[in-house]
Amino acid sequence: MLYWIQVWRHMHECTKIDIEKRAVMEFISFFETQMDLVISQSKKELDKKNGLNRIQGLKEKKRIDADCIKDAIKIINNNGHSSSSDKTGGKTKKETKSEMHTKENTEVV
């Protein structure tokens, strides 16, 4: 998929040193594998969005868009863990029993 000469040229411009063709091919092989992962995960993200659209009575999307790709990359980089914030259902700190009992009742009666 990727042309080795373009990748070689870019690597050479970034490093200002010579790059072996085998190194370029190894680099390309790694990123082609990563691209395959992103593509398959983006399809899952599109299916997830369409499922939510069906629930809301909205029209289904036929194409993978930039948001599907961004979400797929986030999921792959987070090893499948949610990157949601606390407000949107992400990980929250739970109070321990000792923390709950040390709070004083400050209500005025």
Residue 23 lies in a domain: yes
Q: Is the pLDDT of residue 21 over 70?
A: yes
Q: Is the pLDDT of residue 23 over 60?
A: yes
Residue 90 lies in a domain: no
pTM (two decimals): 0.66
Range of the domain at 45: 4-80
Nearest Cα residue to 68 out of 44, 84, 51? 44
For the stretch 50-108, pLDDT in tens is 999 999 999 999 999 999 999 999 999 998 665 566 565 555 555 555 555 555 555 56
- Could you tell me the CATH number of the domain that includes residue 9? 1.10.20
Q: HSE on the CB side for 43, CA within 13 Å?
A: 5
Over residues 4-9, mean pLDDT? 96
Residue 34 lies in a domain: yes
Q: pLDDT higher for 97 or 45?
A: 45
Nearest-angstrom CA–CA distance, 7 and 32: 12
Q: What is the pLDDT of residue 1?
A: 81
Q: HSE on the CB side for 63, CA within 13 Å?
A: 2
Q: pLDDT higher for 30 or 86?
A: 30
**Number of domains present in the structure of the chain:** 1
**Residue tagged 């209500």 (tokens):** 107
Q: What is the pLDDT of residue 79?
A: 81
Residue 48 lies in a domain: yes
Residue 53 lies in a domain: yes
CA 54 to chain centre: 24
Over residues 12-37, mean pLDDT? 96
